[in-house]
Amino acid sequence: MRPSLNKMNSWVEFKGFYDKHECDIMLKDGTIIYYCWPNSGSFTVLGDDGKGQIFKGDEVAQIRYKDYFKKLKGE
């Protein structure tokens, strides 16, 4: 399910709820992790080695959904 448009491309405070849509996350220490997939209260990102790194929801300060459709259209 695609997140509502008012959530796209903007950082929003993570309050424990998320849409099942690829996103970027900002950890509480300010580190940004790109291209994460949310599932079961955590966020997974695959590394170049194909192994997943998991970040628990309580590590996340902000979340940003990207409008990948715009990117595909070249906007």
Q: Does the pTM exceed 0.75?
A: yes
CB-based contact 22:64 (threshold 8 Å): no
The structure tokens listed for 55 are: 């970040």
> Residue 56's pLDDT is what?
95
Q: Could you give all domains of the chain from N- to C-terminal order, each with its CATH number?
A: 5-68 (2.30.30)
- Mean pLDDT of all residues in 25-42: 93
Instruction: Write out the DSSP string of 34-71.
Output: EEEEEETTEEEEE-TTS-EEEEEGGGEEEEEE--HHHH
Environment class of 23 (CB within 10 Å of its CB; exposed 0-12, middle 13-18, buried 19+)? buried
Q: Is the pLDDT of residue 1 over 70?
A: no
